Amino acid sequence: MPSIWFFAFLFLASTVATLMVRLVALKGALIDVPNERSSHLAPVPRGGGVAIFICFSAASYFLGSISPIPWYFVASLLAGGVLVTAIGFVDDFRSLSPGVRLIGQFAAAGLALYLIGGMPPVPLFGQDIDFGWIGHALALIGLVWLINLYNFMDGINGIAAVEAVTIGLAAGLTAYAGNVIHTSILPLSLAAAAAGFLIWNFPIARIFMGDSGSGYLGLMIGVLAIQSGHVDPTMLWCWLILLGCFVVDSSVTLFRRILRGHRPHDAHRNHAYQFASRRFNSHAKITIAVAAINLIWLAPISIMVAVQKLSGLVGLAIAYIPLFLLALYFRAGTEETKNTVADTR
């Protein structure tokens, strides 16, 4: 297990790398101009996710050299990460069509899933069930959904990076509790890399991560979850629990919008977190609330599942039901009643 100095160095490297990307973005006019989906008012440079990609990729390669992390796992992170980041970076420069973007995302997710060995058995009703090719197909769809939901949820200052930081920390604690300590190294590394970017993105955004960052984080979290399931099938449930805030908000929002006749890729500001940020006129309050939910509510449930105090399915239900009610309370997926925009505080 690397020392605390490794994670501190990774955090500082990401902080500096994000600054470098910001300067390049300003010089190259890679600017996010507000549109109908935006929750910010002023143009902000984007592409900061490239810093997370560079730092976490370097950390993964290094850790593969000095720790028991399998090289095929490192390869899945690197190969899938390069492809999804490239797709997102091109989309940041010039908008790709939804079809082209989706094909690229499936290619990145499929490559990562193949290298990692596909979907592991799932603990269900007291047995580890291997779903075979159906499981692999569902895992592929799940990875692509994570890539997109992370993009959907990257709409206010700090929320996407805070999600990665808190989930990484909580997954590390869960791995310790579940006695699979070596699976905590990469989640903690991802948390450190995302924290370095967060310095520049919260509470006031001086750079956005862009599609290159949000898609990358979504895929990396998904691959880390699947790999942990190969080591201990119970850990797959733990990761699903920790992802509750993003999964519930994005899923409820998408489902209700589709029912009302909207296309899945249409730009909008109808997520629960966006309604909440406008109600409280603050990005910071909502981002901090997400961090608190992850660490105070979801992390303990995840740990209880890891130590066999709760079954995965029961833990997931306990974790998700209050989040589902919160999403409904904040009107996820409904139309705005008036033309308001949140500030960038």
User: If pLDDT is split at 50, 70 and 90, which confidence band does 289 have?
Assistant: very high
Q: What is the DSSP string of 221-269?
A: HHHHHHHHHHH-THHHHHHHHHTHHHHHHHHHHHHHHHHTT--TT----
Predicted confidence at residue 343, as pLDDT, reads 43
Closest C-alpha among 287, 260, 261, 293 to residue 273: 287
Q: What is the 3-class SS of 275-289, one letter each residue? A: HHHHHCCCHHHHHHH
Helices (H), 94-158: 98-116, 132-153
Predicted confidence at residue 344, as pLDDT, reads 43
Coil, strand, or helix at residue 70? Answer: coil
What is this structure's pTM?
0.93
User: If pLDDT is split at 50, 70 and 90, which confidence band does 39 have?
Assistant: low
State the Cα torsion 146-151-157-158 to the nearest 10°: 30
Q: Is the peptide bond before 121 cis (omega within 30 degrees of 0)?
A: no
Instruction: Return the minimum-mean-pLDDT range out of 24-38, 99-113, 147-161, 256-270.
Output: 24-38
- Percent of the chain whose pLDDT exceeds 70: 94
Mean pLDDT of the chain: 91
Residue with tokens 């960052």: 213
Q: What is the pLDDT of residues 198-253, one digit of tens each?
A: 999 999 999 999 999 999 999 999 999 999 999 999 999 999 999 999 999 999 99
Residues whose CB is less than 8 angstroms from the CB of residue 145 and which lie 6 or more positions away in sequence, other chains included: none
Contact 155, 344 (CB under 8 A): no
